[in-house]
Structure 1
Amino acid sequence: MNTRKESAINGNAQKVNMVPEWISSYSKAYLKYDLTAGSITAAVVIPKAMAYATVAGLPVQIGLYTVLFPMIIYALFGCSRVLSVSTTTTLAILTGAELSNINAANLSVMTVLVTLTLLVGFILLLASLLRLGFIANFISEPVLIGFKAGIGLVIILDQIPKLLGIHFIKGTFIHNLVSIVEFIPHSSLATIIIGVVMIFLLIGLEHYLPKAPAPLIVVAAGIAGMGIFHLYNYGIEQVGFIPRGLPDIELPNFALAQQLWPGALGIALMSFTETIAAGRAFAKGEEPIIYTNKELLATGLANVGSSFFGAMPSGGGTSQTAVNRIAGARSPMASLVTAGITLLTMILLAPLLGLMPQATLAAVVIVYSIGLIQPKDFRVILNVRRTEFIWAVSALVAVVLLGTLKGIIVAIIVSLIALAQQIVDPALHVLGRKPGTNVFRPQSKEHPEDETFPGLLILRPEGRVFFLNAAQFGEKIRPFLANISPRVLILDFSGVPDLEYTALKMLIEAEKRLSSEGTSVWLAGLNTEVLNVINRSELGKKLGRERMYFNVELAVKKYQEITNG
């Protein structure tokens, strides 16, 4: 009987554990925020997703399917509280390029799309199974700051034509910027007025009524104005017609896998990169940690599950996530609200939402994308570490000039090069003693009063000493030896966590050479691992306890005893 009870309890526990944590702990106080944020995000993401579908050469309703299904699936399995998952500009472009490259005359475009999206999902799931999420750890905080700023600039520039009522063939950031300048004389004054009014209305509501759902009010005002005042008579463009209805189930054709997998791999990498970057960029400290492998699983499931309904490959969208966060989203419930509104749009609200002026949508996106650009963060990084400031600027410039994926790759490469430079060129400090204390610190212009000792040179290397930087250590030490010609060289190894064999061998050879030149080498501050490495070598036998000390203070004290004695 007890066994049955335990089994029942365990079974119930497993059922409970299958429920996402945010659902089981959901607070009713969050509901009003999630309803508002989900509604606002829907107003942004629905038209954009339809536009992205056309970018990929697909019917506009495909964009709606790519909002509805991936968003629901990610909300159930993802880590982020606010990440809005659908398609993005880059994913749409990559999808369109892959679809156009496939020669399948006997197959419909939908069959190819379903197979492609399914493959993308399978690749993400495989990456999760192989625990490849560590790749995202190469994206540092400065890189994220630069990434967000670059994306902010790209988004704003992308929306300006809608604000001006102009059209041109889109290209690179520079191409678009030049084209905007060239087409300004052809701008629609009525569209500009609507856009500017909407921007000021948004800013005013945010400033004077911060608790009001400003974007939702602006969207409603835009739709109402279009209907009441017939603004379309003045050349103001609308979002346009949205077809009604739910999608049919589509089946893949795995015979296409051989042709599609290289493109699917690139799309999967783009999906993962954008998802992690957006998820981390908008995460708050009190929210759950973004686990990369779990994100791979969630986005993989989102792509696999939505593929059968004709959705495009999906991933975390930066601009819509920014709107979701700033609009006050507290949990994935906001994404479920967005998905619910998408469903209503597909069935009931398509004609109404289609009345929205493009300038209104552009105003909402621009106002909330400006928040992605934080000059203050760049100043803080510059004040702390110039190297990481370069990382941030590199990410910004690369995203703007090369696009999101290439921009992140460039930023990661710059980060790795900078990290390699730090490893290969480690710090080496000449130490002096603070007067009246036992504190030894690097000599500097700020502390000219620090004590030094005739005939004694104290050097403190920092970082792991191994084959890549051992020779550089030697080159850095040589000038100090030439200038001082010390009787004793104390190497403070308190900042060295590890000593690799190549570096040990070079140290042994350096000790022999210096001994022949009249300089005795002493070691201090060795941790247990480094001490064991030295003791197992001929250097340990040669130095003995007489020339290895617990810390620099004891070594200097011994030196003074010998000198004064």
Structure 2
Amino acid sequence: MASKHFSSRTWSARNRRGWWHKVNRHNLRRDLLAGLTGAVIVLPQGVAFAILAGLPPAYGLYTAIVPVIIAALFGSSHQLVSGPTTPIAIVVFTTASALAVPETLDYISLVLTLTFLVGLFQLAMGLARMGMLVNFISHAVIIGFTAGAALLIITSQITNVLALDLPRQISFWINWQHVIEQLPHTNYYALGVALATIATALIIQHLRPNWPSLFSAIVVGALVSLMLGGEASGIRLLDTLPTHLPPLSVPDLSLDTLGKLAPGALAIALLGLMEAVAIARSIAAHTHQPHDANREFVGQGLSNLAGSFFSSFASSGSFSRSAVNHRAGAQTPLAAVFSALAVLLVILFAAPLAAYLPIPAMAAVLVLVAMRLVAWHQIKVIFMASPVDAVVLTTTFAATLFVELTFAVYVGVMLSLVLHLNRISHPNIVSLHPDDLGDHRRFVTSRPGKECPQLKIIRIDGSLFFGSINFIERALRDIDEDNPEQKHVLLIGSGINFIDVAGAELLVREARRRRQLGGDLYLCDVKAGVCDILRKGGYLELFGRDNIFASKREAIEKIFPRLDLERCQQCSVRTFTECASIEARE
């Protein structure tokens, strides 16, 4: 146990400094280009998400600076990019707008305090090592969530690609209804910019895979926009940006304010952690890079705590920007740091130049990235190999589209838990018989006509705990119905890893019942942990020490004399080596 603990600590220490060895000229170049691409993407998103959160547009860009740097340096994922996100912005608005008028000073103060509380909750959960909670997010949940999020990204950007003026809708279905209705009003200049951007990215990825395809595509999109007339042709460009550093801010830490915001802050903290870890796991599935959920909790918590003092609202991992970062070739967290620094430099020195960036080009990059997020091969494998996982995947995918984005992960997690509990409460019970009559007693799955008529041998592959005892008890009673003469039952315990008090009482209860029937219940190959529970609970005496054996061979040798020998003389199966003694008597 000590060595395992040491191994865990060693891995954690290595993981903390695991990406520094990757910092070299080649990777720095890739990180820098990925960071610049991410900065271009976050400029319009930050403005939009701030407005969605009920804040002045500048606060979206502030949230794309300090929180991004802190989360990248203290988190575990090398490609995860944090900052403003749609789900968090919506919940921030819902929580704070009930207490103050949006965009007012009082409202901004509440949002900053809310951000501080979110960070505090997240940091506390990280320090308490509650990252184990993410172990309940199955691979099928991640695949379904990723596919659904990809379709939502495409849905959110298709209006920018076509330059359609549509009302802001949250519903996936209603958004597409509006798009279809407004298709005749498509601006083909904007569509041309988007198509040129996509074509450039695809050509570069095919001919020059090592080139920064996404960043180059946005540059080409900007040039095409200029050639087509820009805003004069109806092509939307980025709005004017602020030209000063994020102002320092102080959250309102009065007990009254903290009490009002605490419930909403806890909800946002959980949503943000679930979102960030789900994205980190999704990226890790492609990069095969290990990630530490506890560190991710700490990184997100510190980023929100720091952000609350630098005019930032609650942030989390961004699915679209993380995907862009990964696809753009990011190798280390420095890519996210470069992205934040690039946003800061744009604010200070290049705000006027941002006005030349066409929104259709940035939307096209997001659409292209989203299309590559869908793991078609893995979806096919899941549907072919595991109907249960296919249900989880489909449910998570549907919930992502038709329910709130982050709640979809909750749906998938809850469904995974229900199905997991159903599996462990129905352990596999296998009937066995000896196939090798030698000393090793090799046992195989029973075939008709091969079992001893008096002794039933079964192996339970699972735990004997309160959730499974009803199923196991029914299976033991079914033995009586299938073959009433098999009053003796040998239970091979090599597959039992855990037993609780309810499981121990089941064994004692079943042993007593079988003795009343004229038989008995026996155990062999029982693991040390199971024996400890039986011994400490006083169940060994009730069950019978003489009924517990170290091996299958010993069990058969000791059980055989307890069988009805007269019946053995009439038996033609001759299952055990000991049956030869009956033949000798005949």
Q: What's the TM-score once normalised by structure 2's chain length?
A: 0.86
- Higher mean alpha-carbon deviation, 88-97 vs 233-242, is at 233-242
Post-superposition offset of 1:475? 0.7
CA distance in 2, matches of 1:285, 1:540: 54
Q: Which amino acid aligns with 1:70?
A: P
Post-superposition offset of 1:421? 1.0
Post-superposition offset of 1:313? 1.0
Specify the SS of the correspondent of 1:329: coil
Name 1:502's counterpart in structure 2.
502
Q: Is 1:57–2:54 an aligned residue pair?
A: yes
Q: Is 1:90–2:87 an aligned residue pair?
A: yes
| Residue among 436, 440, 443 paired with 1:440 | 443
Deviations 1:356-396 (A, max 9, x none): 22211111001111222112112323444332332222222
Q: Which amino acid aligns with 1:336?
A: V
Taking the TM superposition and a 5 Å limit, the aligned residue runs for 1:511-550 are 511-534=511-534, 537=538, 540=541, 543-545=544-546, 547-550=547-550
Deviations 1:31-59 (A, max 9, x none): 11111111111121222111111212222
- Higher mean alpha-carbon deviation, 555-564 vs 325-334, is at 555-564
Aligned residues: 544
Q: Which amino acid aligns with 2:55?
A: L
Q: Which runs of 5+ in 2 are unaligned?
A: 1-12, 561-575
- Higher mean alpha-carbon deviation, 249-258 vs 261-270, is at 249-258
Query: What is the aligned-residue identity percentage?
Result: 27
Specify the SS of the correspondent of 2:231: helix
Post-superposition offset of 1:329? 0.5
The alpha-carbon distance between structure 1 residues 279 and 450, as it changes in their structure 2 partners (threshold 3 A), is farther
Specify the SS of the correspondent of 1:59: coil
| Residue among 152, 156, 159 paired with 2:157 | 159
The alpha-carbon distance between structure 1 residues 371 and 541, as it changes in their structure 2 partners (threshold 3 A), is same
Specify the SS of the correspondent of 1:308: coil
CA distance in 2, matches of 1:450, 1:79: 58
Taking the TM superposition and a 5 Å limit, the aligned residue runs for 1:115-264 are 115-166=113-164, 167-255=166-254, 256-264=257-265
Specify the SS of the correspondent of 2:235: coil
The alpha-carbon distance between structure 1 residues 430 and 383, as it changes in their structure 2 partners (threshold 3 A), is farther
Q: Which amino acid aligns with 1:474?
A: E
- Higher mean alpha-carbon deviation, 550-559 vs 162-171, is at 550-559
The alpha-carbon distance between structure 1 residues 541 and 275, as it changes in their structure 2 partners (threshold 3 A), is closer
CA distance in 1, matches of 2:530, 2:93: 56
Name 1:11's counterpart in structure 2.
none
CA distance in 1, matches of 2:434, 2:323: 52
CA distance in 1, matches of 2:453, 2:335: 70
CA distance in 2, matches of 1:369, 1:285: 14
The alpha-carbon distance between structure 1 residues 37 and 538, as it changes in their structure 2 partners (threshold 3 A), is closer
- Higher mean alpha-carbon deviation, 378-387 vs 417-426, is at 378-387
The alpha-carbon distance between structure 1 residues 118 and 462, as it changes in their structure 2 partners (threshold 3 A), is same
Name 1:416's counterpart in structure 2.
417
CA distance in 1, matches of 2:532, 2:294: 38
Name 2:279's counterpart in structure 1.
278
CA distance in 2, matches of 1:175, 1:200: 29
- Higher mean alpha-carbon deviation, 108-117 vs 299-308, is at 108-117
Tell me the C-alpha RMSD between the 2 structures. 2.8
The alpha-carbon distance between structure 1 residues 286 and 200, as it changes in their structure 2 partners (threshold 3 A), is closer
The alpha-carbon distance between structure 1 residues 498 and 258, as it changes in their structure 2 partners (threshold 3 A), is closer
Deviations 1:245-298 (A, max 9, x none): 223222222343232222222222222111111122212688764323322222
Name 1:13's counterpart in structure 2.
none
- Higher mean alpha-carbon deviation, 434-443 vs 482-491, is at 434-443
Q: Which runs of 5+ in 1 are unaligned?
A: 1-15
Is the 8 Å Cα contact of residues 115 and 253 (structure 1) preserved in structure 2?
A: yes
The alpha-carbon distance between structure 1 residues 449 and 190, as it changes in their structure 2 partners (threshold 3 A), is farther
Q: What's the TM-score once normalised by structure 1's chain length?
A: 0.89
The alpha-carbon distance between structure 1 residues 395 and 104, as it changes in their structure 2 partners (threshold 3 A), is closer
Q: Which amino acid aligns with 1:220?
A: V
The alpha-carbon distance between structure 1 residues 248 and 483, as it changes in their structure 2 partners (threshold 3 A), is closer
Is the 8 Å Cα contact of residues 138 and 412 (structure 1) preserved in structure 2?
A: yes
Name 2:342's counterpart in structure 1.
341
Name 1:399's counterpart in structure 2.
400
CA distance in 2, matches of 1:189, 1:47: 21
CA distance in 2, matches of 1:501, 1:78: 41
The alpha-carbon distance between structure 1 residues 287 and 391, as it changes in their structure 2 partners (threshold 3 A), is closer
Q: Which amino acid aligns with 1:229?
A: L
Is the 8 Å Cα contact of residues 22 and 331 (structure 2) preserved in structure 1?
A: no
The alpha-carbon distance between structure 1 residues 23 and 498, as it changes in their structure 2 partners (threshold 3 A), is closer
Name 1:111's counterpart in structure 2.
109
Post-superposition offset of 1:532? 4.6
Is the 8 Å Cα contact of residues 20 and 77 (structure 1) preserved in structure 2?
A: no
Name 1:377's counterpart in structure 2.
378
CA distance in 1, matches of 2:72, 2:521: 62
Q: Which amino acid aligns with 2:25?
A: K
Is the 8 Å Cα contact of residues 223 and 353 (structure 1) preserved in structure 2?
A: no
CA distance in 2, matches of 1:432, 1:233: 84
Post-superposition offset of 1:321? 0.5
Deviations 1:486-509 (A, max 9, x none): 253221111112332322223223
Is the 8 Å Cα contact of residues 435 and 451 (structure 1) preserved in structure 2?
A: no
Name 2:98's counterpart in structure 1.
101
Q: Which amino acid aligns with 2:333?
A: P
CA distance in 2, matches of 1:181, 1:265: 39
The alpha-carbon distance between structure 1 residues 29 and 193, as it changes in their structure 2 partners (threshold 3 A), is closer
Deviations 1:310-353 (A, max 9, x none): 11211111111111111110111111211121012102222222
CA distance in 2, matches of 1:388, 1:324: 29
Specify the SS of the correspondent of 1:101: coil
Is the 8 Å Cα contact of residues 200 and 220 (structure 2) preserved in structure 1?
A: no
Is the 8 Å Cα contact of residues 434 and 450 (structure 1) preserved in structure 2?
A: no
